[in-house]
Chains A and B, each alone.
Chain A
């Protein structure tokens, strides 16, 4: 979650880069006698008394705006609901979610040239299955002003056969400032 959100920092950057910009590409560490610190004989995590120490400054992550969370879940659900017999590729579902976005962002939803492929997609198409996603708020995500939603899915046929989809997709949404909220921007990851 880093970055230069600070403009004052950016001003400093110019100065620092100017000063340090001549650092050799393969510059090694300074040659000097320095203390060497080793890992502990046993992992610190094995000490129960310390294992909760990170919680000392616990931050409540339940402060997201409920309307925004709901909008994010709705978008993630639409974006991972596919019908491989009709959808040319996975972006077709993103297209269907454009109604939840600002006009500017909706214009940027562009489908690639290739159709969707892959064993998962081909199998689902063969069985005329559609995806039924399960979406969850990623409470461990810590970027301010962003809501992260993780989607997984089942493939379901009309006669009730179902099987787990492969992988997951995590969406990171930002929103307009005023209600009714729109999705201002988003990216997603399949890792």
Chain B
């Protein structure tokens, strides 16, 4: 009798267990689906839990593209053949997603079309209709991208040149063979590229990627954590009465970092391929004390560190250093007037196994690369 009662209880418990599973499983699945839905690929890039872009100034860190415009923005980007983050960053820059925005110069609507341009691209719709504006933006950007396509050698350039064409006109991009040397146009392209990466890419991916291949997802170390950017990559002022025939004077091939850090560090695991020998080195007058190094894994980017303090280099040719290893002390050797480090990232094709040469490989703006690896340069 007692055994029968015991087996009855077991059956009841088993039935209750099955019922519980039937109830809980859908709840778990529902919650899981909810988590997936909340994962927004166009959310701001977070570094150490903090948005690093414009979103840090606003109380809207989790969602950047207003929900009502998400589909239209994605469609616009698809039409243009550009990343969603680029179209989103453009709209943010143009109107701050305000469909009623009007500029004193006459630009109208969410995408700030000028009346003449809207006449051509607006399909006879209301310029203050945000969906018509986003649709027209996609078609107009596609048109511009087609006009500059032959000039671009990679996806990133295609995006940059299209943005430049939007700001300065495709004729100027063609005339200069790339981004025209107009300060405002340079700033426009830079701002949209930066904001697309920082405000509209939850994984901090640089728009258009890089032509050297994919980077691993591992985070890098900051080359100088307490430093400040004192000279950016790219165009710089000619110091001579004429720089005609001296294009190397008009471009900064890396970034300068200065701050209170006693050392500069390896951002990722590197093989040290060349360490200079102080004043006897042929390039000392220009580079100061310097190090060349290469990633130990794909994409084998080449790194340069220049202007280190005399007798401060802590590695030697052939060493393999782990991420975060101090390499030397910032200095003011070479052609500089104050303590800093010049940090440069070169294409993997750069020569690294013998005395490095001046400008012997294509360089990249280190900041988008570092940000993608969760290192923010201020």
Interface centre among A63, A116, A140 (most CB of B within 10 A): A140
Query: What are the interface flags for B175-191 relative to A under an 8 Å C-beta threshold, 1 for contact and 0 otherwise?
Result: 00000111111111011
Which residues of A are found within 8 Å of B251, using beta-carbon distances?
3
Q: Does B93 contact A (CB under 8 A)?
A: yes
Tally A-B pairs: CB < 8 A. 315
Bound Cα distance A1, B326 (Å): 21
Q: Which of B9-17, B18-26, B202-210, B293-301 binds A?
A: B293-301
Cβ contact within 8 Å between B182 and A110: yes
Bound Cα distance A188, B181 (Å): 11
Q: Which of B37-45, B123-131, B154-162, B349-357 binds A?
A: B349-357
Bound Cα distance A163, B129 (Å): 30
Which residues, 1 to 49 on A, are CB-close (under 8 Å) to B? 1-6, 8-10, 12-13, 16-17, 19-21, 23, 25-30, 32, 34-40, 44-45, 47
Cβ contact within 8 Å between A117 and B94: yes
Which residues of B are found within 8 Å of A122, using beta-carbon distances?
95-96, 98, 101-103
Interface SS of B by simple majority: loop
Cβ contact within 8 Å between A34 and B103: no
Which residues of B are found within 8 Å of A8, using beta-carbon distances?
282
Bound Cα distance A9, B231 (Å): 23
Residue of A nearest to B357 (CB): A16
Which residues of B are found within 8 Å of A108, using beta-carbon distances?
181
Cβ contact within 8 Å between B322 and A115: no
Which residues of B are found within 8 Å of A181, using beta-carbon distances?
none
Q: Does B374 contact A (CB under 8 A)?
A: no
From A21, A39, A119, A140, contact of B338 by CB (8 A): A140
Cβ contact within 8 Å between B167 and A113: yes
Q: How far is the CB of A115 from chain B (nearest CB, A)?
A: 3
Cβ contact within 8 Å between A187 and B360: no
Q: How far is the CB of A176 from chain B (nearest CB, A)?
A: 8
Interface SS of A by simple majority: loop
Bound Cα distance A8, B374 (Å): 39
Cβ contact within 8 Å between B358 and A1: no
Which residues of A are found within 8 Å of B180, using beta-carbon distances?
110, 112
Q: How far is the CB of B52 from chain A (nearest CB, A)?
A: 12
Cβ contact within 8 Å between A3 and B253: yes
Q: Does A172 contact B (CB under 8 A)?
A: yes
Given contacts A27-B348, A125-B103, A140-B228, contact A114 B166 (CB under 8 A): yes
Which residues of B are found within 8 Å of A28, using beta-carbon distances?
296-298, 300
Which residues of B are found within 8 Å of A187, using beta-carbon distances?
183, 186, 235-237
Cβ contact within 8 Å between B349 and A23: yes
Cβ contact within 8 Å between B95 and A5: no
From A16, A84, A109, A172, contact of B355 by CB (8 A): A16
Q: How far is the CB of A148 from chain B (nearest CB, A)?
A: 7
From B237, B243, B263, B359, contact of A172 by CB (8 A): B237
Bound Cα distance A20, B248 (Å): 20
Which residues of A are found within 8 Å of B167, using beta-carbon distances?
112-114
Q: How far is the CB of A48 from chain B (nearest CB, A)?
A: 10
Given contacts A16-B354, A39-B323, contact A4 B101 (CB under 8 A): no
What are the 8 closest A-B residue pairs judged by CB atoms, nearest first? A115-B105, A20-B351, A39-B324, A16-B357, A119-B96, A142-B338, A185-B237, A112-B168
25 contacts across the A-B interface (CB closer than 8 A): A1-B306, A2-B287, A3-B248, A9-B282, A12-B282, A13-B358, A16-B355, A28-B298, A29-B300, A39-B325, A59-B337, A89-B184, A91-B182, A113-B168, A115-B106, A117-B107, A119-B95, A140-B230, A140-B258, A140-B340, A142-B339, A143-B337, A148-B231, A185-B239, A189-B190
